[in-house]
Amino acid sequence: DTPNSVKYTYYDNKGNVINEKTVDFAKDKNGKIVDKDEHESYDDTEFKEEDYYVLPEDLESIYEKKFGKEIIRVSITGYVLAQRMGVSVLKSTDGGKTFDYVTDEDIIVSREAKAKFLNKKQGFVISTGNIWLDGHSNDVYVTNDGGKTFTPAKFNYTHEGIQFITVEKLPYLKNNTLHLKCSMYASKSDGTGYEDIPLDFISTDDGLTWNLSE
């Protein structure tokens, strides 16, 4: 069958188009509509030619946290090439019935990204779980304004022969200090092989820069 295309249009709370994606559909042997890429079956048996408009509360989310009467979500706004996706922060003040966009501009991360908010203002999005020490990629994003803007975090660390370190635990507070638990796979001090070496990073500027804990 020749696939039929349906365009999904994503709007912010001001009615502006922030993202669009096209999905190809076809009918299976039983006449049910099937997503050609995701192999998802729908009950519809007739194609609709009009666009489908996706409300913020209907977006797929990678993270959700409730703070008092507010609910914060990190939601997927679209997919791009090389297994990457755009994500934005959404907020609800009515118990999750409706959500409004918070982020000014989507951040682009891997499809395995994870997120965490420590409070209503401060949150993190970790792209792949690896932090490249040469700084060629944005691996950790931080927001201190509730998700309105995100800034790539900087890591002041190098180790001979090591290209990247691995995030073992998302950022957390300990004794009022931000910590990020990581590890690196490096040679043992006695030269008999390799091992995972734990690394504890701390930040004193709200997650913008990280240094190895002494």
- Domains in the chain: boundaries: 4-54, 56-212
pLDDT value of position 38: 42
- pLDDT tens-digit readout, 64-75: 999 999 999 999
Say yes or no to pLDDT of 2 above 80.
no
pLDDT value of position 28: 53
Calculate mean pLDDT across residues 17-21. Answer: 64
- Strand runs labelled E in the chain: 4-11, 17-27, 33-35, 52-54, 61-67, 70-80, 84-92, 100-101, 107-110, 114-117, 123-126, 130-132, 140-143, 151-152, 154-156, 164-174, 177-187, 194-203, 209-212
CA–CA gap between residue 5 and residue 166 (Å, rounded): 40
CA–CA gap between residue 133 and residue 110 (Å, rounded): 18
Q: Higher confidence at residue 4 or residue 70? A: 70
pLDDT value of position 58: 80
Q: Are 72 and 117 in contact (CB under 8 A)?
A: yes
Pairing relationship of beta strands 154-156 and 209-212 according to DSSP bridges? parallel
Report the range of poorest mean pLDDT among 32-36, 37-41, 94-98.
37-41
pLDDT value of position 196: 92
- pLDDT tens-digit readout, 190-209: 878 889 999 999 999 999 99
Pairing relationship of beta strands 154-156 and 164-174 according to DSSP bridges? unpaired
CA–CA gap between residue 90 and residue 75 (Å, rounded): 7
pLDDT value of position 22: 62
The residues facing 20 across adjacent strands are 9
pLDDT value of position 14: 61
Q: Which amino acid is at 11?
A: Y
Q: How confident is the model at residue 39 (pLDDT cuts 50, 70, 90)?
A: very low
